Amino acid sequence: MGKLRAAQYACSLLGHALQKHGASPELQKQIRQLESHLSLGRKLLRLGNSADALESAKRAVHLSDVVLRFCITVSHLNRALYFACDNVLWAGKSGLAPRVDQEKWAQRSFRYYLFSLIMNLSRDAYEIRLLMEQESSACSRRVKGSGGGAPGGIENAGPGVPGTPGGGLPHLALKLQLRVLLLARILRGHPPLLLDVVRNACDLFIPLDKLGLWRCGPGIVGLCGLVSSILSILTLICPWLRLKP
């Protein structure tokens, strides 16, 4: 499935590149047809995914953390609805239900896909916040244990403390810089979370473009879809890179 998705978005990216560089219309048509066939094939292989998403939602209901329970459950429910709309689209494109309004069902499916991604990114942000709080607490304990001043602990430092800004914009800039460094350290130390953030962020461009909320063009959509697909394949090859639960 991941390889088909990667091939589909690679075709989208290639088609955009060929159009931009003035390739022959016949070659562009062949690439578009290949992309369409790959999309239809993926829809066929996803016929049972709604049930899988519902089962995942049932398991997520039992998570002890309230925020994780909400984000993951709602994400899986939206994925189930997205796959259900996708099944209707497959029936329409394959000729089993020729009267299906494909544009309407496509818009519905992308709306559910967008809501699912928003929940996924909310979950990632929550995980990052928890890890940043844990790291900050650990740093504070280490500083208190050593009896020294907190390096960069400017939240607790007053304007009279030597080596710290007296306030205003320099003070805020230093706080922001320390936050960014902490975020980078956390993401570097938690590869599954980093991959999940990048994958969801890349996927977000797809429904935003398809729904007309932010037109980024087929080139960006193809590139983001390809990167997301490669990361998904990577988590299949290396299961420890998959974010849990």
Token readout for 242 is: 């998959």
Given this model, what pLDDT does residue 185 score?
Answer: 93
Give the pLDDT confidence of 78-103 residue by residue, as tens digits: 999 999 999 999 999 888 988 999 99
Does 151 score more than 80 pLDDT?
no
Given this model, what pLDDT does residue 39 score?
Answer: 92
Given this model, what pLDDT does residue 36 score?
Answer: 92
Q: How confident is the model at residue 2 (pLDDT cuts 50, 70, 90)?
A: confident
Given this model, what pLDDT does residue 153 score?
Answer: 45
Give the pLDDT confidence of 218-237 residue by residue, as tens digits: 999 999 999 999 999 999 99
Which region among 86-100, 105-119, 131-145, 153-167 has the lowest average model confidence (pLDDT)? 153-167
Give the pLDDT confidence of 113-126 residue by residue, as tens digits: 999 999 999 999 99
Q: What is the pTM of this model?
A: 0.86
Does 62 score more than 70 pLDDT?
yes
Q: How confident is the model at residue 148 (pLDDT cuts 50, 70, 90)?
A: low
